[in-house]
Amino acid sequence: MEASRARGPARGPAAAPMARECSFTRFIKCGPMQFYGTEGAVRLVCWFEKMENTFEISECVEGKKVKFDTATVHGRALTWWNSQVTTLGREVANRRPWSEVKQMMSDEFCPNEEVQRLEDKLRHLKLRDMNIAAYTERFNELALLCPDAVPNKKKKVELYIKGLPEIIKGETTSSRPATLNESVRMAHALMEQ
């Protein structure tokens, strides 16, 4: 009796839970967003974010990310992916790291002119109608799309403060916020006064 128990899987509170490997069905049940390749840079970044959430929720391992995510591309994006598969072979294309495929998709579906236009919008973004929440949301969206415009925390904080109205810009700057979150909290507090 004792010998037969030793051969089976460990049971009880000390046993580690068995990890389930992510299946395509499990991945799809998490509701990944579709991407067509015609939506522009903002939608592509939203797709990346949603895809990363889907990977996390479905517990998708790195080796399956590209294979699963490319099942959500259609139209122009699917044509682009199929050209990658034709050039590299399906196995090699699917083995590429997700970070590399993200960069390739950014290069393909975020034309330089659009990125330049978005960087200009970020650099000239101003708080309008005293709506600090809308300003902060748009700033964060543009900062995600244009990482070269905000290469570090300091530049990000400076650019955020630059877009604030003069009545709160000075006090926000003098508080010497080290992070964007500190800048946002300070700006919100000053706007509420």
Domain tally for the chain? Answer: 2
18 in a structural domain: no
Mean pLDDT for all residues in the chain? 88
Residue-level pLDDT at 20: 65
**Together in a domain, 78 and 39:** yes
Residue-level pLDDT at 3: 46
Tell me: pLDDT of 61 over 50.
yes
Query: Phi/psi at 159 (nearest 5 deg)?
Result: -70, -40
Confidence of residue 15 (pLDDT cuts 50, 70, 90): very low
Per-residue tokens: 36: 């067509």
Lowest mean pLDDT among 64-73, 78-87, 152-161, 184-193: 184-193
32 in a structural domain: yes
Buried b (16+ CB within 10 A) or exposed e, 116-155: eebbeebeebebeeeebeebbebbebbbebbeebbeeeee
Query: Among 77, 110, 143, where does a domain finish?
Result: 110
**Together in a domain, 145 and 156:** yes
Residue-level pLDDT at 14: 52
Tell me: pLDDT of 7 over 60.
no
- Distance from C-alpha of 101 to C-alpha of 121, rounded to nearest angstrom: 26
Q: Which of 43, 107, 30, 108 is nearest to 69 (CA)?
A: 30
Tell me which residue range forms the domain holding 131. Answer: 113-192
Per-residue tokens: 68: 């699963």
**Together in a domain, 95 and 152:** no
Residue-level pLDDT at 9: 46
Alpha-carbon distances, residue 15 vs 4, 8, 9, 10, 11 (angstroms): 17, 12, 9, 6, 6
In this predicted model, what pLDDT tens digit does every residue of 118-129 receive, in sequence order?
999 999 999 998
Start-to-end CA distance of the chain, whole Å, equals 74
Residue-level pLDDT at 1: 47
Query: Among 46, 76, 110, where does a domain finish?
Result: 110
**Together in a domain, 87 and 35:** yes
**Together in a domain, 105 and 120:** no
Query: Among 110, 144, 173, where does a domain finish?
Result: 110
**Together in a domain, 67 and 121:** no
In this predicted model, what pLDDT tens digit does every residue of 42-52 receive, in sequence order?
899 889 999 99
Residue-level pLDDT at 42: 83
More confident site: 5 or 132 = 132
73 in a structural domain: yes
52 in a structural domain: yes
Alpha-carbon distances, residue 102 vs 47, 65, 93, 106 (angstroms): 10, 11, 13, 6
**Together in a domain, 37 and 83:** yes
Tell me: pLDDT of 156 over 70.
yes
146 in a structural domain: yes
**Together in a domain, 134 and 91:** no
**Together in a domain, 130 and 179:** yes
* pLDDT > 70 fraction of the chain, expressed in percent and rounded: 90
**Together in a domain, 37 and 103:** yes
